[in-house]
Structure 1
């Protein structure tokens, strides 16, 4: 019996070994605060990101999407992904910091292990003036986001509906 047990155990161990492919089961960034390198601008493209240890969710907003406010009401704007705005998920070799995105020359480490771009979805931005009517507050939400890996596998367990809030100055 021992003659068959150990060879069988060895074969099972070899078959169950990972082929090194990264398995992404969940993308969860709802409890993480959105960041940017520069204050968001109403009349230009904006790069926002959320960092979660060795993961990043990067949102590139189309130009002018934050310039949709009025003083006395809430205005809702939408932007299609990926035709107008872009959403990218990156998995890094180790913990990533905002320096990776904000330094003129990005640090050599961590390195990107995997990058997946969203193939569809919608960015919805609700804009309203703050109480002092000096700034617009833009609440950014994501819906129907679809990430598809190179092998065609769709990542469906997404917890990224609330991207966050950013503020822009109300023009004089």
Structure 2
């Protein structure tokens, strides 16, 4: 009986968390791109929500243009554009980012800024409606470093998403 209790206590001690947050994977490739309001060339805030976490992209002003790209437009992270990974204590919705007064909940458990990388944007004009432009956003070599100085390695965020604007 005593051995059983000792084993249970031992298992309880080694199974306890030290309270540190461990993020093993950041994977938003299968998550839809979202933004507030209507998509225009002035839209600079984009996000992807994955129940309890979010990938947030603030684009440099002027990167979205209603004209086809000859080359891929680039913006440095950090610098012109910012990307952040945010972990919440409860499910998060787009209203968290889009409401005039952000909701109090869910609370932010951790926010990790992108320390390096690039935003790549390529724009094409619609063949059927010449007033529409599709903008494809990709992230390249994005690196996240948390407050403890740990680099997050399992990152799958290369294809950020695409959206359409109209020149009307």
**Structures share a fold, TM > 0.5?**
yes
Deviations 1:52-96 (A, max 9, x none): 1111100000000112723xx654101110111000011111110
Instruction: Report the counterpart of residue 28 of structure 2 in structure 1.
Output: 29
How far apart are residue 103 of structure 1 and its match? 0.7
SS at match of 1:133: coil
* Structure 1: gaps spanning 5 or more residues: none
2:141 maps to what in 1?
144
- Corresponding position of 1:119: 115
**SS, match of residue 167 in structure 1:** strand
Partner residue in 2 for 1:155: 152
TM normalised by structure 1 equals: 0.88
Q: State the Cα distance separating 1:32 from its structure 2 match.
A: 0.8
- How far apart are the structure 2 equivalents of 1:107 and 1:60? 20
Q: What whole-Å deviation, never above 9, does each CA across 1:92-119 have from its counterpart, x for those lacking one?
A: 1111000101111111111111110000
Q: Determine the C-alpha separation between the residues in 2 that align with 1:54 and 1:139.
A: 25
The equivalent residue for 1:16 is: 15
1:78 aligns with 2:74: yes
- Deviation string 1:115-165 (CA, Å, 9 cap, x unpaired) is 100000111001111121112111000110000111111111111111101
Q: 1:147 to 1:81 in 2, by over 3 A?
A: same
SS in 2 for 1:83: coil
Q: Output the aligned Cα RMSD.
A: 1.9
The two structures have a TM-score, normalised by structure 2, of 0.90
Please report how far the alpha carbon of residue 4 of structure 1 lies from its aligned counterpart in structure 2 after TM superposition. Answer: 5.7
3-state secondary structure, aligned to 2:72: strand
Pair 1:98 & 2:94 matched: yes
Q: Name structure 2 gaps, 5 residues minimum.
A: none
- Residue 41 of structure 1 and its aligned partner are, at CA, apart by 3.2
**How many residue pairs align between the two structures?**
167
SS at match of 1:7: helix
For the residues of structure 1 that align with 2:31 and 2:88, how far apart are their CA atoms? 17
Is contact 2:66-2:167 (8 Å) kept?
no
For residue 8 of structure 1, report the CA deviation from its aligned partner.
5.4
